[in-house]
Each structure stands twice: as structure tokens, then as C-alpha cells.
């Protein structure tokens, strides 16, 4: 994988955007590759034309940013002018093409990034595994021969990066959909505070929980993309000092059922951080046990997705992935009073948790308790349900708290990818990215 900084430097030194696009398109079209599973639509002609345009501007010193001409993949959840936004479904295939880019896509274009295609995803973004029965499932680059899930719902995003089909990816995160694929595949995934990036033009799952964030090779790459998506001035990311960094490891729920490979990578990462001067403490944080009770009737995702989908389900129920459909239908269990109680309980919970975690710069835990499971092991619905709940458990805490979070690789090179998840405070996005960039230097995958 190449970083955006390296590619930008190459472009400044005379490399051509057209060459980048041609290389990516060649990988996408390789019959032995994953392109047919990763992309639901490829914008080859438009991408080549944009590359020529930015090469022309750069030659005259007029490129809109140092990243102009770099290709990125766009999750099929986003409106792209002239495209039908299918959200990984067959239900919406006959919908009219959209007339405008989603704001997130428009901001990437304004900075000069080139959307190279629409990446595959879990239907309607409602799973953490990335399996799609309609368009097939992108294979995780790790142990591809076995066939492991890429993580979801932004399933095609990390594979597009690792396989060199794009150099960054636009994803969404309602309960971990940027961070789980990043953890399973070995890239970085960032979930911003929800209000940071406008969600207009992205087909919603839960209007209360949806966030829009990037996946990329490094923390600095994600920080650069985040600044563009948030409409901020891009700037170099300072490293937060590890000496004296205050981090807390919750002991309730988040370490339950952790596989040995994940536990080993996590403990090795913590040891490296302690050696670098970070102050890491275990905290009980029993309040985490309240989340399943508060969400006992399916939570905000079920209630709000049912409101969004009930008319579509009335017409096209048989076209839905049954495993997605059953989760949406849970929203029928809630009435208006249940929903109001849930909203109020969440607000109270956020307030109480903010007071408890205020002394720490970040919370830290494994992104998921397991490595990427084999697709074949999820054939039975009960196995799928159990594993899906397990991988969503830790990341979804962040969405419920409306905070920022990031997953970065912490495994040993050659081993199964494992994600280290950091959780910051509401609105402390750039601070968390600075912390993550410093931690990345201490825990990124190394040879044995």
C-alpha cells in the first residue's frame, strides 16, 4: 500500500495521474483479481479524463491540492451525479440516477481526488461482516485462498486499497462499518464525530448513528481525507506525545471472548505503548453493561431503518437479503414511546459516560474480538448472527456515545490482521488522530 503523502510527492516530482488511474484500472479489470467483487460500477472514462485534466493543471502550477489526481473508491451508499445509488441492494436498481454528488463526494472532488468506482458493501449497510448475496463478497486479502470476510458494511473499501485499485476509500460507520473492515484487512479506518461530515446524499441506515469516514493506508492518510470531508484546511498532523499519554482499557464486556491471536496482538501493542511512556490503566466501566439493556428492542438502528424501509419492504420484501431484512423488521417492536425512551436514555448515558472518561486522553480496546472469519463458517444463520453481534459489539459503543474512533493495525507482519481501536471524546477528532498517528509508529505491523 502507498500513502497519500508518498503519492502526492511523486506527483509533485513529475509522476502522472493518468498513470495512477491506468494502473488502478488494470488491477480492477484483472480477471484473476477481486475487482469484479470489489466494484459494483467503475468510472473508467471519467477517471481517465479527470486524470488528464489534473495533469494539465499541475503542469501549470494550478492543481487544487497536492492530492489532485489521486483515485479513491466510493462506497455504493453515496450519490454520485449520473449514477443510481443502489446501496448494495437489488431493490434500488431501477431508481432514477441522482443529479448531484453527495456533499462528501463533492468535497473529495473539489480537492482533486478522483472517484474511480462504487465499492461493494453489505446490503443497506446493515451488517459488520461484509457478505453480499446479490453481488458476491470481496475476499479479504489475508488468506484469500481460504476465503475470509472483508468486514462490513464498507466491504469493498479496504480491499480496493490493499489491492491497489484505489489509494483511499470513502465509507460510512453506523456501528463499526469503517473500523471493522479496517481491522479485518489491515488498514486504518476512522469514524468521526457524527456531525463532523454531512450525511446528506448517503442512503441512511440510522439517522442518529450514521457517520461518514475514510479508510486508507495510514493514520496520516485518514487525517488528510478527514480534513477534506469536514471542509477544513488540510494541514500536517502533529504527533501527540506518548510520554504521559493517559489511556484506559475497559474491563467490562469489551474483552469478553477475545481470540488468542487478538489478545496477543493487543497485549503486545499495550506493552509497546507503556515502553514508550504511555500511562495505561484498567478501568471497570460497568456502565458498558447497560448498552444491551437500553437497546433491547433493536436500538436506534432497527427503529430508524424500519422507518426508512417500510414502504420499500411492502413492495420488494423478497428481494432483500433475509439476514438484513430480519434486523430491519426488529424496528416494528418499538412504538413511539419506546423510541422516545430510547433517545432519552441515550442522552443520559452519554452525559454519564463523559464524566467517567474525562480524565483519559482515549479509551483503548481491540476493534473486534476475532480475526476475519471464514465465509464458509457463516453459512448457517445462527453462526452469522453470533459472529456479526460479536464484531459489532466494541465499535458500536462509539456510535451510541456519539464519539470519534479509529482502528489501526497492531498485528505482527504476516499474521492475521488485528485492529487496535482508540476512542476519543465527542468533537475531539483531530486530537484523536494525533494520538493515533503517534501510536501507529509504536504498534504498526513489524516482522518477527
Range of the domain at 218: 4-229
Q: Tell me: the pLDDT tens digits for 353-368? A: 999 999 999 999 999 9
pLDDT of residue 235: 79
Split at pLDDT 50, 70, 90, the class of 234 is: confident
pLDDT of residue 446: 61
What is the domain-level CATH number for residue 152? 3.90.1300.10
Q: Tell me: the pLDDT tens digits for 339-349? A: 999 999 999 99
Q: Assess if residue 158 is contained within a domain.
A: yes
Report which of residues 233 and 377 the model is more confident about: 377
Q: Tell me: the pLDDT tens digits for 103-157? A: 999 999 999 999 999 999 999 999 999 999 999 999 999 999 999 999 999 999 9
Q: Assess if residue 280 is contained within a domain.
A: no
The pTM score is 0.97
Active-site residues: which are they? Answer: 75, 153, 177
Q: Assess if residue 247 is contained within a domain.
A: no
Length of the chain: 448
> Does pLDDT of 305 surpass 70?
yes
pLDDT of residue 299: 98
Q: Assess if residue 12 is contained within a domain.
A: yes
> Does pLDDT of 425 surpass 90?
yes
pLDDT of residue 19: 98
Contact between 88 and 135 under an 8 Å Cβ cutoff? The reply is yes
Q: Tell me: the pLDDT tens digits for 202-213? A: 999 999 999 999
Tell me the average pLDDT of the chain: 97
- Give the count of domains, the chain: 1
Q: Assess if residue 73 is contained within a domain.
A: yes
Split at pLDDT 50, 70, 90, the class of 448 is: very low
Q: Assess if residue 445 is contained within a domain.
A: no
Q: Give the C-alpha separation, 418 to 410, whole Å.
A: 6
pLDDT of residue 383: 98
Q: Assess if residue 80 is contained within a domain.
A: yes
Q: Assess if residue 421 is contained within a domain.
A: no
Amino acid at each position: 500500500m502507498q500513502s497519500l503523502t508518498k503519492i502526492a510527492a511523486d506527483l509533485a516530482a513529475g509522476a502522472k495521474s493518468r498513470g495512477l488511474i491506468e494502473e488502478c484500472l488494470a488491477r480492477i479489470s484483472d480477471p484473476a483479481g477481486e475487482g469484479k467483487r470489489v466494484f459494483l460500477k467503475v468510472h473508467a472514462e471519467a477517471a481517465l479524463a479527470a486524470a488528464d485534466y489534473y495533469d494539465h493543471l499541475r503542469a501549470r502550477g494550478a492543481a487544487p491540492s497536492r492530492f489532485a489526481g489521486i483515485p479513491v473508491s466510493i462506497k455504493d451508499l453515496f450519490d454520485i451525479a449520473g449514477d443510481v445509488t443502489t446501496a448494495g441492494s437489488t431493490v434500488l436498481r431501477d431508481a432514477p440516477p441522482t443529479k448531484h454528488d453527495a456533499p462528501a463526494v463533492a468535497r473529495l472532488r473539489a480537492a482533486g481526488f478522483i472517484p474511480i468506482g462504487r465499492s461493494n458493501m453489505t446490503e443497506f449497510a446493515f451488517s459488520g461482516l461484509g457478505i453480499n448475496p446479490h453481488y458476491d463478497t470481496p475476499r479479504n486479502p489475508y488468506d484469500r485462498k481460504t476465503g475470509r470476510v472483508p468486514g462490513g458494511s464498507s466491504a469493498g473499501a479496504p480491499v480496493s486499497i490493499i489491492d491497489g485499485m484505489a489509494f483511499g476509500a470513502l465509507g460510512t460507520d453506523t456501528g463499526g462499518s469503517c473500523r471493522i473492515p479496517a481491522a479485518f484487512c489491515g488498514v486504518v479506518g476512522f469514524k468521526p464525530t457524527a456531525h463532523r461530515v454531512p450525511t446528506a446524499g448517503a442512503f441512511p441506515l440510522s439517522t442518529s448513528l450514521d457517520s461518514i469516514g475514510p479508510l486508507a493506508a495510514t493514520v496520516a492518510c485518514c487525517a488528510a481525507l478527514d480534513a477534506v470531508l469536514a471542509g477544513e484546511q488540510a494541514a500536517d498532523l502533529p504527533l501527540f506525545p506518548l510520554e504521559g499519554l493517559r489511556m484506559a482499557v475497559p474491563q467490562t464486556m469489551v474483552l469478553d471472548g477475545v481470540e488468542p491471536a487478538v489478545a496477543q496482538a493487543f497485549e503486545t501493542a499495550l506493552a509497546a505503548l507503556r515502553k514508550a511512556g504511555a500511562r495505561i490503566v484498567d478501568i471497570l466501566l460497568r456502565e458498558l453493561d447497560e448498552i444491551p439493556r437500553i437497546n433491547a428492542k433493536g436500538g436506534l438502528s432497527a427503529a430508524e431503518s424500519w422507518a426508512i424501509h417500510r414502504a420499500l419492504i411492502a413492495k420488494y420484501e423478497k428481494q432483500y437479503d433475509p439476514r438484513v431484512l430480519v434486523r430491519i423488521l426488529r424496528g416494528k417492536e418499538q412504538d413511539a414511546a419506546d423510541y422516545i425512551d430510547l433517545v432519552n436514555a441515550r442522552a443520559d448515558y452519554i452525559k454519564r459516560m463523559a464524566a467517567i472518561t474525562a480524565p483519559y486522553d482515549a479509551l483503548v480496546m481491540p476493534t473486534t474480538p476475532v480475526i476475519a472469519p471464514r465465509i464458509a463458517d457463516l453459512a448457517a444463520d445462527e453462526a452469522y448472527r453470533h459472529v456479526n453481534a460479536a464484531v459489532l459489539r466494541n465499535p458500536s459503543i462509539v456510535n451510541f456515545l456519539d464519539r470519534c474512533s479509529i482502528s489501526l493495525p497492531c498485528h505482527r507482519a504476516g499474521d492475521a490482521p488485528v485492529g487496535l481501536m482508540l476512542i476519543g471524546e465527542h468533537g475531539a477528532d483531530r486530537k484523536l488522530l494525533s494520538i493515533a498517528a503517534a501510536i501507529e509508529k509504536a504498534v504498526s505491523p513489524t516482522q518477527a
